[in-house]
Structure 1
Amino acid sequence: MRHASTRAAKRLGLLSGAAALAVSLSLLPQEAQAGPGDFQRGPDPTEQSITAERGPFATAQTTVDGPTFKSGTAYYPTDTSQGTFGAVVVSPGFVTPEALISWYGPRLASQGFVVLTLETNSGFDQPDDRATQMLNALDYLVRSSSVRTRIDPNRLAVMGHSMGGGGSLKASESRPSLKAAVPLMPWSNDKTWQTDRVPTMIIGAENDAIASPASHAEVFYNSLTAAPEKAYLELRGADHNVALGSNVTIAKYSIAWLKRFVDEDVRYEQFLCPAPTPNTQISEYRNTCPTG
């Protein structure tokens, strides 16, 4: 009888220990899927903050020479207190040097992104070549670059002008894990993007004689039938090169799109939904109107 009591006491002790262990483990930090707001960076946005030349983050920059692309400049927030940031690679277009897209670097980085403006291997590189270089640049940023510890490798995006815009569509089609794409006045001989599953905002220019919206941007937008969210913004009276200098409208909507889909930050939906009506800056806007 005494042995039975001892065994019962031992079992009771084991159960009590197990319960205590379970309670202790429940108090430890848990690895879990990110919840709403986990990737929010910076203060609540306003019209003034999203259109400002610089956002709330101080930035720095460093030259990047990658083994699978020519070179580039990485711009990044100096603040490390809010965790890691999403990363965006921006490609120039046909015979366009990195210098003409360099304004995107500090503009986007100051809103809470690591941004690489790319110098392509050749100014004559076609969209598919630019897509490969953009993806290689993203891989280099997160694996080998000096800013890799600042980047969340699961929150990456691409952006590009002209053939760089066509390249960003190809990069998205090739890598559906990307969180967002922003093609600017995109040019490509490929008009079919039905398998592209990346949230995409296409920005076109009303008077673009090189990549006319009717032959490029609008056609691309209509073909994005598998994209979970998409938008098309057309700049009133603008030509093909409007993206090669600081532009408030391009910056505002690019930032809102990247924030919404790279950072999953629903605070920026106010700039996307309801869709803006045509005005002195915008001749047309179409979208699927993302909601939280």
Structure 2
Amino acid sequence: MRGTLVVQQTSPTRRARRRPKRLIRTGIAVLLATGALVTSQAIGAESAENPYERGPDPTTSSIEASRGHYAVSQSSVSRISVSGFGGGTIYYPTSTADGTFGAIAISPGFTATQSTIAWLGPRLASQGFVVFTIDTNTTSDQPASRGRQLLSALDYLTQRSTVRSRIDSSRLGVMGHSMGGGGSLEAAKSRTNLQAAIPLTGWNTDKSWPEIKTPTLIVGADGDSIAPVSSHSEPFYTSLSSSLDRAYLELNNASHFTPNSSNTTIAKYSISWLKRFIDNDTRYEQFLCPLPQRSTTIEEYRGNCPHEG
């Protein structure tokens, strides 16, 4: 007997049952692909909106921590290898994966060396900055000279230093303690395209700074007997244009030399100010606006909110 070929046919009803499953699977795949595309576009748009954001989303803990997201390296710069200032130490994020960083030069005060402000180097650099703590030509240099030296240090950083390729030269700031703080005001007055200035218990015979165009955070200390806030930090702040992004932080139970050792309040608000204005990173606006309230570490805080820069 010849074999019989049996062909099993699928009924129209069974085919109809399978089709919706295939359609559902196809629809899910399309939705997932579309969702991924939308997410990708959203991330791309966010990145394009602010290409200078560096590091993860900040929290109170992350900006109060002694170290931030980035591992830090450092290099010494001899005074005999530079001109215009007295050398110093460069602190910078070790990784280059995130591209370039903004940079900050920091000056010590009268009779002091960079060792008095050294704590700021790794602390700020670990948050995503290149930081240059400098020595001045002489320890008795006055604020105007220190201002010029801060600018010379920034020029060295961006033009000659071994880390110049890591720096975005359009995103620069200055800080300083005491006469170095007065020097940071002088630097901001001279170079109006600086993105941020932070005088720490600053001292200067010039009390009026309406010419400054740089977002400026003035930090004073309630117990300062060398540069009392009533004759230095407060008039510095009130003389700044009311249209400028500006703030005044007066530390509670603090002295003129409080910025010479690790201080969480100084670090917290300095990081927030530098991130907000050097990196244009509005994720840090939350720590500056609404204005911080009086506390065990803050005697007073004034400023404009929201910030325009």
User: TM-score interval w.r.t. the shorter chain?
Assistant: 0.7 to 0.9
Residues 75 and 105 of structure 1 are in contact (CA less than 8 Å); yes or no, is this contact kept in structure 2? yes
Residue 97 (1) aligns with residue 113 (2) = yes
Residue 107 (1) aligns with residue 120 (2) = no
Structure 1 residue aligned with 2:24: none
Task: Say which of 208, 224, 228 aligns to 1:208.
Answer: 224
Shift of residue 38 of structure 1?
1.1
Moved over 6 A (4+): none
Shift of residue 69 of structure 1?
1.1
Task: Say which of 52, 66, 76 aligns to 1:63.
Answer: 76
What TM-score do the two structures reach when normalised by structure 1? 0.87
Task: Say which of 259, 273, 285 aligns to 1:257.
Answer: 273
Residue 280 (1) aligns with residue 296 (2) = yes
CA distance in 2 between counterparts of 1:98 and 1:227 reads 34
CA distance in 1 between counterparts of 2:104 and 2:180 reads 13
Task: Say which of 79, 87, 91 aligns to 1:75.
Answer: 91
CA distance in 2 between counterparts of 1:127 and 1:106 reads 25
Structure 2 residue aligned with 1:36: 49
Task: Kindly provide the amino acid, as one letter, of the partner of residue 43 in structure 1.
Answer: P
CA distance in 1 between counterparts of 2:306 and 2:154 reads 26
CA distance in 1 between counterparts of 2:146 and 2:172 reads 16
Other structure's SS at 1:76 match: strand
The 1:47–1:147 alpha-carbon spacing in structure 2 relative to 1, beyond 3 Å, is same
Q: Percent identity, please.
A: 56
Shift of residue 227 of structure 1?
5.8
Residues 195 and 226 of structure 1 are in contact (CA less than 8 Å); yes or no, is this contact kept in structure 2? no
Task: Say which of 66, 69, 73 aligns to 1:53.
Answer: 66
Shift of residue 291 of structure 1?
3.8
Residues 93 and 164 of structure 1 are in contact (CA less than 8 Å); yes or no, is this contact kept in structure 2? yes
Task: Say which of 151, 158, 167 aligns to 1:142.
Answer: 158
Once structures 1 and 2 are overlaid, which stretch shifts more, 226-235 or 119-128? 226-235
CA distance in 1 between counterparts of 2:173 and 2:110 reads 21
Other structure's SS at 2:229 match: coil
Task: Say which of 135, 148, 151 aligns to 1:119.
Answer: 135
Deviation track 1:78-124 (CA, whole Å, cap 9, x = no partner) reads 11111100000000000011111100000000000000001111110
Shift of residue 67 of structure 1?
2.0
Task: Say which of 270, 282, 286 aligns to 2:286.
Answer: 270
Rg larger for = 2
Residue 238 (1) aligns with residue 254 (2) = yes
Residues 245 and 307 of structure 2 are in contact (CA less than 8 Å); yes or no, is this contact kept in structure 1? no
CA distance in 1 between counterparts of 2:199 and 2:254 reads 16
Task: Kindly provide the amino acid, as one letter, of the partner of residue 127 in structure 2.
Answer: Q
CA distance in 1 between counterparts of 2:246 and 2:139 reads 29
**Structure 1: 5+ residue runs without aligned partners?**
1-33
What TM-score do the two structures reach when normalised by structure 2? 0.82
What is the aligned residue count? 259
Shift of residue 146 of structure 1?
0.3
The 1:291–1:196 alpha-carbon spacing in structure 2 relative to 1, beyond 3 Å, is closer
Once structures 1 and 2 are overlaid, which stretch shifts more, 152-161 or 226-235? 226-235
